[in-house]
Amino acid sequence: MLTTPIGKDLATSHWGAYDVVRKNGEAVGLTSRADDPDPSPIGPAMWDAYRSTLRIQRPAVRRGWLHRHGVETSGSGRGKDPFVEVSWEHALNLVAGELQRVIAQHGNASIFGGSYGWASAGRFHHAQSQVHRFLNTLGGYVRHMDSYSLGAGRVLMPHIVAPMEQLMVQHHSWDVLAAHTRLFVTFGGVPQKNAQVGLGSASEHRVSKGLASMASAGCHFVNFSPVRSNLDVPDNATEWIPIRPNTDVSVMLALATEVILAGRHDLPFLARYCVGFERWQDYLLGKVDGVVKNADWAAPIADVPAQRLRELALQLAGNRSMVNVAWSLQRADHGEQAFWSTVGLAAVLGQIGLPGGGFGMAYGPTNNIGSPDRLLPGPTLPQGVNPVKAFIPVARITDMLLSPGKSFDYNGERHVYPDIRLVYWAGGNPFHHHQDLTRLAQAWARPETIVVHEQVWNAHARMADIVLPATSTLERNDIGHGTRDPLLIAMKQLMNPAGVSRDDYDIFADIAQRMGLRDAFTEGRSTMQWLEFLYAHAARGAKTAGVEYPAFTDFWATSGVRLPPSDGGVVMLAQFRADPVGHPLETPSGRIELFSERIASFGYADCPGHPTWFEPAEWLGGAAARKHPLHMLSDQPHTKLHSQLDHSSYSRANKVAGREPIHIHPDDAARRGVRHGDVVRVFNDRGACLAGAVLDVNLRPGVVKLSTGAWWDPQMPGDRDSLDRHGNPNSLTRDVGASRLSQGCSAQTCLVEIEKFIGTPPPVQVFTPPLFADA
């Protein structure tokens, strides 16, 4: 099968592929492609954002570090000291010298290599791959495991079904759902704004069209969520059940119990494809603790009608049904249980592996889930081998910095936090992703040196010692590829780099040269030679799948190629369903584990051997709600990706009173004297921030929604009484692991209170460049 050349001039990004607008032959902007069913408005905002005055123009070093670098207390001025701009020669010498000093004195296990992989849709200029390859060339580094998005899910799912990476690429495609699914029950909706992005490119956005096609085919949707608007389906096809946050597991368990009590559970499926059902059934039917987990039990916990749960259980059993769970549900206290209970409910129904039936984890988080396009290997930069074995779960970075030498549990093993002296970060923004940012800022003062590659003066850059200006997606050449995406794109440089910014690859190559390791890092290749090398590797993988790529020179002469369509729809776990012996799962039993002997053997009281209901640490049904009576959800923003492009005109136009908007039900607002557009103070015992009030009837009363991504703007970093002026919800969230199994983040378990801000609110300062000084 042959590919088809792309005729139009394209640029690609995490938000999708866009037509390049040219004037007199010069690129002047981006516009949406006509063949994208639902283009994201975020991508075109890149153009002006990458020309912003907030771009880092030259290498900069924190003045306090210049005077005291290498001294243990040198981090106390991070986020407060002015910066000194220096030449590239000076900056690279400082970084190389500091790396050599730390490695010689403390070893490679004292270096933490941070990144989050979202800096570019290009597969070569993938900041995470670049920094890991560089640090491996130096002898290794302490790495992180898993992700903030899927911390609990990534650890749990290999034990009970399959790794998340495998499941994500084999979800039923939208055409299969439209043809077969007649009841779609989702916990947490299918948020289309989240699906506007992809780890690589997201050239054809399908969620909106996919949901519409399901509704047109007669599928009925039931949305258990505190937020009505996270499922955009016509009202006549949708039922919204405004569940109490963090109680979804109780409803899932009750639905499974009601199916069993009605005798509608699929015993042949459970016997052939699952292990441990009897053990879990004993728990559901109260033989373990005397509590039957039926609808009457779940109704007061979740604040939903018991009769509706009983009816829904029979509807699930009587239709081709899909049970979907949003990723946000496992970003909570005991977050593993939401995913495990979803699998358990789907297993009781017996439809896993059938077209349109089973479970989804999940439709909505990224564009590729549900794609019918061909699954082909993409270009991937080799990262080398890391000799350092120490690691942390990604959401435990503050614990690591505050408590070196302390032991921690993770996935059945006990590990020890390393003693980190130097943090090297390229790609991502820990002062967006992490929870309890005041605590992180306190921990951030501990390392002797922090080096970052950044494009803009966000909190990540302001909290560093050495800031190296990196180019943006539009300022370099690369190859764009996304999993199950129909386009392989030749990403051409469209604008000149800001100031003297440089590609991450060139920065690392020059540091490696100063350390006598340039050839080991570069393997003698320029950027274009690497692109040709990575393309050839991807082409060989595609050829084994029967797809012929053109020669690299032909590929680069165009905007890329359109891949041939797939042969048919995707059905998740179809091979396992057809032959569980010939196509076993990678679990210990080769089957779906409703009771996991392996997890039970870990002895974790907060994550036992089967799906279990636990009362959250903070929830509206608990005592903590008397002090902080609002449950805050921190979802993904619709104006940016994480914190990327928060400084863009598109993102800033959606602010309220210059702050990130916080959605609140009109009844809750009225009780607090808050009106639409007011600046409000959102607070709990962990911190406080300012936000702009938006009254929203699509919320359950008692719930507020403050999206992530506002650049953190504290009055005084690290001060527990400090006020974030801009509206970053991680000023308030819990920095506690979901459980001892995963140690994933639990940001969605968070209670707050809101009050109208009286007086003149302090101005947002994070969109003003930091102070600079002479050395």
In this structure, the strands spanning 478-480 and 466-469 are unpaired
444 labelled catalytic: no
Q: Are 382 and 533 in contact (CB under 8 A)?
A: no
> Is-contact 108 140, C-beta < 8 A?
yes
Dist. CA 128–CA 617, nearest whole Å? 34
Nearest alpha carbon to residue 124 among 566, 430, 523: 523
What whole-number distance in Å separates Cα of residue 519 and Cα of residue 509?
8
Give Cβ neighbours of residue 653 (< 8 Å, ≥ 6 apart): none
Q: Is there a cis peptide before residue 254, judged by omega within 30 degrees of 0?
A: no
DSSP 45: G
| DSSP β-ladder status, 679-684 and 687-695 | antiparallel
Catalytic residue among 116, 273, 417, 424: 116
CA distances 93 to 59, 96, 230, 512, Å, are 12, 5, 50, 11
Picking from 567, 515, 533, 225, the residue whose alpha carbon sits closest to that of residue 373 is: 567
Which is nearest to 369 in space by CA: 164, 79, 130, 117? 164
- Joined together, the tokens standing for residue 14 give 């995490």
Give the integer Cα–Cα distance in Å for 215 and 197. 23
Q: Are strands 4-5 and 83-85 parallel, antiparallel or unpaired?
A: unpaired
Chain length of the chain: 775
Residue with the two structure tokens 């403390």: 106
Catalytic residue, candidates 15, 65, 118, 556: 118
According to DSSP, residue 549 is labeled P
How far, in Å, CA of 121 to CA of 292, rounded? Answer: 49
Which token pair is 537?
């590797």
- Report the sign of the C-alpha dihedral through residues 667, 670, 672, 675, in that order: positive
63 touches 81 (CB < 8 A): yes
Active site annotation includes 424 = no
Among candidates 236, 208, 219, which has minimal Cα distance to 178?
Answer: 219
- 521, two tokens: 């890092």
- Say if residues 731 and 687 touch (Cβ distance below 8 Å): yes
Structure tokens belonging to residue 414: 């006990």
Whether the CB-CB separation of 572 and 157 falls below 8 Å is answered with no
* Backbone phi, psi, residue 76, to 5°: -65, -20
- For the beta carbon of residue 506, count every other beta carbon within 10 angstroms: 16
The Cα diameter of the chain in Å comes to 78
Dist. CA 335–CA 497, nearest whole Å: 42
Please give the full DSSP string across 675-725, using - where no structure is assigned. -TT-EEEEEETTEEEEEEEEE-TTB-TTEEEE-S-PPP-BSSTT-TT-EES
- H helices within 583-692, ranges in order? 597-601, 649-653, 666-671
Residues taking part in catalysis: 116, 118
